[in-house]
Amino acid sequence: MNRIDRIFQDLRPPGNTAGGKALMPYITVGDPSIQTTGRMLSAVQDAGASICELGIPFSDPVADGPVIDASMTYALSHGATVEKIFEMVSSVRPSLSIGLVAMVSFSIVHRIGLSKFIGDAKDAGFDGFIFPDLALEESGPAREAAAKAGLILSMLIAPTTPDDRAVQIAKACTGFVYVVSRAGITGERAELPPELPDRLRHLRTVTDLPMTVGFGISSAEHVRQVVSVADAAIVGSGMMRRIAEARSQGEDQTVKMVGDYTRDLAAGLVPA
């Protein structure tokens, strides 16, 4: 069984329809360094994260706001490459039990070659992928290649996605369904959209996959609101903003901050 499937299965055991909930922090690999990212993975695991979404830096990020865009620019300017990222993941994977999902532009995958990229990612220790710029109509080969490798592939459902298309995307996902909580680019928000619960309820009628929600989540209270209707909360810009602020304090302090912030967020997994 894929590690992502097993994590959600363990959180939602037979006979328990509610089950536990998952925290999925996002980290841009290579900010402030690839070595530091490796240490951060241990920190988020120890602090209560179940899965970590690892952003592979790209020069033209898709749907990412200024915080994540800046983190990718920083990582690229400091030498982050796909090869180095895979080497780092391979070195830390034996010490980790959390799931690792690569958030990566499909243009990078296309440049390297679909079979090679998925094979190398599997060998490194990734459990699956999110290709934010891969259209459903063009996703067949990638979904087939990921399934053949035993890896999951999730696609994004935006608030602006029509219901019939959202259903098609949900059915095409494996591992989990990634539901974007609000329209626009990523970034922290003060509150979550009121229409989110209805969208999740509708999607649950067409798939048994866990529902994960991202975009705009940055506090324990946000996490608590999300997991009251979803299976996992994804936190990206809130994490990367804090990493940017901590860079000048050195690697040890940055890693500590990541652990502390993850621990704060994980408090939202428990009902108030």
The two three-digit tokens of residue 54, written as one number: 């690892």
The catalytic residues are 53, 64
* C-alpha separations of 163 from 5, 36, 158, 183 in Å: 25, 41, 10, 15
Report the distance separating Cα 223 and Cα 25, nearest Å: 11
Which residues lie closer than 8 Å to 263 by C-beta, 6 or more apart?
Answer: 47, 48
pLDDT in tens, the chain (272 residues): 999 999 999 997 655 545 689 999 999 999 999 999 999 999 999 999 999 999 999 987 555 578 999 999 999 999 999 999 999 999 999 999 999 999 999 999 999 999 999 999 999 999 999 999 999 999 999 999 999 999 999 999 998 899 999 999 999 999 999 999 754 444 444 566 778 899 999 999 999 999 999 988 889 999 998 999 999 999 999 999 999 999 999 999 999 999 999 999 999 998 76
DSSP code, position 94: G
Helix (H) / strand (E) element for 21: namely none
| Residue 180 and residue 158 in contact, taking contact as beta carbons nearer than 8 Å | yes
Query: Which of 3.40.50.620, 3.40.50.300, 3.20.20.70, 1.10.8.100 is the CATH number of 3-154+217-269?
Result: 3.20.20.70
Write the single-letter amino acid at 42.
Answer: S
Altogether, the residues listed in the chain come to a count of: 272
Residue type, 32: P
| Burial classification of residue 204, based on how many CB atoms lie within 10 Å of its CB (0-12 exposed, 13-18 middle, 19 or more buried) | middle
